[in-house]
């Protein structure tokens, strides 16, 4: 039996629905501040909800899916982008209770419940999306309707997300070697160090497919330790939150500029820009979805790309040695930069595209070619 629930935004707007997934209450939220409380964002992807749930870049966010019917393919053990879901909550219009897919191993609601993720179904997600587009991202709560009166108390007690170092909360605690299925140890001539700011598994698989062995290190790893691993190149991963809240990572990248070929994705793109001397800013409602058009300034080619970010690089702050390689055709934000003098480049979007189109997969070829030239 389902219980009436509500998504309450900090502005006071409320969106009614039915509670799904893990139990949630005001006391639970205050005790953990991780589930049921976060920034409300929307994702326009038509598919890939399991990859979205398990992307660490969604840590601290309540994700609203704009596609109206979610859960029809169930969940499985093959598609996750990490070991567990990371979002603070999940909001959908219609939940499919009886999935039908040959790869399905469980239903979505059971999966959310098993991993402690509260959700709301039967929500007017179109109205919620229009609200967030108009007002911008807001802090939000998922609560039983009977506890809606406690929302002001919770907002007053829990911290905001601007300036909070979310990377430190999701990065690996220990260095490890990524082993792809079927890989033979010692068979790869190229060695990459990947700084984990909240890395997705399919980024690692895409790098391994280029013939690279990969050592993943915590976000706080210093330049001396990275160089001691004798890598051929450095990969800067995706991750959640405000890039300016991780000055230690910026300093490490700054000290490695020019010493190794560098490729950054999403958060890695923003941190590379900061290391080069640029600034970042928070977008009104961010880019999240697998259908974002990006222009490659060098080729004139338009790529449909997969995005998940709430911050962007300030184009006016980029130093002379950094050039803009890609721009968004939706809002003209910076989607890629290159620093030729340092053999470094980055993109704001996800070339591994899980979920999403594979228009940008050639960026991994570009990085591999840079490694081989050194």
The CA distances from residue 359 to 266, 275, 291, 305, 367, in Å, are: 16, 28, 11, 7, 16
The residue annotated as part of the active site, out of 87, 131, 352, 354, is 352
Tokens for 99, please give them.
């999935």
Q: Give the separation between CA 235 and CA 363, rounded to whole angstroms.
A: 12
The residue annotated as part of the active site, out of 93, 307, 309, 350, is 350
Q: Is the peptide bond before 212 cis (omega within 30 degrees of 0)?
A: no
Tokens for 193, please give them.
């160090």
**Residue 252 CB neighbour total at 10 angstroms:** 24
Active-site residue, 350 included: yes
Active-site residue, 147 included: no
Contact 237, 246 (CB under 8 A): no
State the distance between the two ends of the chain, measured CA to CA, in whole angstroms: 62
Q: Give the separation between CA 371 and CA 374, rounded to whole angstroms.
A: 6
Phi, psi of 141 (to 5 degrees): -135, 145
| Nearest alpha carbon to residue 360 among 196, 180, 203 | 203
The residue annotated as part of the active site, out of 266, 287, 307, 326, is 266
Q: What are the helix (H) ranges across 115-246?
A: 125-135, 151-157, 167-170, 201-208, 223-228
Active-site residue, 87 included: no
Tokens for 361, please give them.
């997969």
**Catalytically active residues, by annotation:** 266, 350, 352
């Amino acid at each position: 039996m389902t219980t009436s629930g509500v998504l309450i935004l900090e502005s006071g707007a409320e969106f009614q629905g039915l509670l799904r997934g893990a139990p949630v209450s005001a006391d639970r939220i205050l005790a953990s501040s991780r589930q049921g409380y976060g920034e409300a964002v929307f994702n326009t992807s038509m598919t890939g909800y399991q990859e979205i749930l398990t992307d660490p870049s969604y840590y601290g966010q309540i994700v609203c899916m704009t596609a109206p019917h979610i859960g029809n393919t169930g969940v499985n053990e093959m598609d996750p982008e990490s070991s567990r879901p990371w979002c603070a909550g999940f909001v959908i219009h219609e939940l499919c209770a009886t999935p039908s897919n040959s790869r399905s191993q469980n239903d979505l609601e059971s999966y959310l419940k098993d991993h402690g993720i509260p959700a709301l179904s039967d929500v007017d997600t179109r109205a919620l999306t229009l609200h967030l587009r108009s007002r911008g991202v807001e802090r939000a709560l998922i609560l039983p309707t009977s506890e809606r009166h406690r929302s002001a108390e919770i907002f007053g007690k829990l911290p905001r997300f601007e300036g909070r170092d979310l990377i430190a909360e999701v990065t690996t605690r220990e260095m490890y070697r990524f082993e792809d299925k079927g890989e033979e140890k010692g068979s790869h001539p190229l060695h990459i160090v990947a700084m984990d700011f909240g890395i997705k598994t399919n980024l690692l698989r895409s790098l391994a497919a280029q013939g690279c062995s990969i050592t993943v290190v915590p976000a706080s790893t210093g330049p001396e330790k990275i160089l001691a691993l004798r890598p051929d190149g450095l990969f800067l991963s995706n991750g959640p939150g405000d890039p300016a809240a991780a000055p230690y990572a910026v300093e490490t990248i700054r000290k490695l500029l020019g010493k190794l070929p560098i490729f950054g994705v999403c958060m890695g793109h923003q941190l590379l820009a900061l290391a080069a001397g640029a600034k970042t800013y928070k977008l009104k409602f961010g880019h999240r979805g697998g259908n974002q058009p990006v222009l490659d300034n060098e080729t004139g080619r338009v790529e449909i790309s997969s995005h998940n970010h709430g911050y962007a690089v300030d184009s006016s702050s980029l130093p002379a040695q950094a050039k803009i390689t890609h721009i968004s055709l939706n809002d003209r934000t910076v989607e890629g930069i290159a620093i030729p003098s340092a053999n470094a480049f980055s993109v704001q979007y996800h070339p591994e595209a899980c979920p999403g189109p594979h228009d940008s997969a050639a960026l991994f070829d570009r990085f591999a070619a840079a490694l081989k030239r050194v």
